Structure 1
């Protein structure tokens, strides 16, 4: 398994577990459940899918769901599970937080997603250099 894929999977699992807690727990300060904007999530899935050049049919097949279900998710009609959202983020090679974060472009999750996107473009030799830089940086802090 390549370094980029491994890194992507580890980060995706981390954010999946992180957002699982954020979405389904009660906001202690307000005593209310957090609202999830499924329409916005669906729009972001649709945008990411189109950017990758993947049709609803292909996405549905990879997820083992119907095209109608994908359509309903993208229109915000159907609530999507975190498991399925994680699978979609893997297929579309994007960070799960980009679908559910309220301020995705200003968040550290967005920066990590952008970093992964740029790393994927590198050849294996450059990826090894980046990995070494990250390890050295972690040793310093």
Structure 2
């Protein structure tokens, strides 16, 4: 792969620390949520929130690209990504993703085709998770 862009971030203190992007544009304190036995400190986030935001934004871009290839517009599609974490069989932890893609300007069947194509062919988050993370979609069209 020939990189087009590289994002770099540094985390200190793990899930109870902080992270900051190398360009200083993004950074925040982290805390283990109460549901995972942590303090769930106000004003903090989790790696799962960050992954969900990145995947949702990236998938929205992939969807719009695929739509344009089909001479359609999905630029206003609302992509909501829920990332869950839990224990895996065999030890450690795993992730699961539930993605909701809504665009009432496109027919349901057409939007489902675009979502499938964006997931299977374009989105790098989808490529990275394939075979490792259970990703399910809810598609809401007209």
Q: Tell me the TM-score normalized by structure 1.
A: 0.28
Q: Tell me the TM-score normalized by structure 2.
A: 0.28
> In proportion to residue count, which structure has more strand?
2
> In proportion to residue count, which structure has more helix?
1
Q: Which has the higher contact order (CA 8 A, sep 6+)?
A: 1
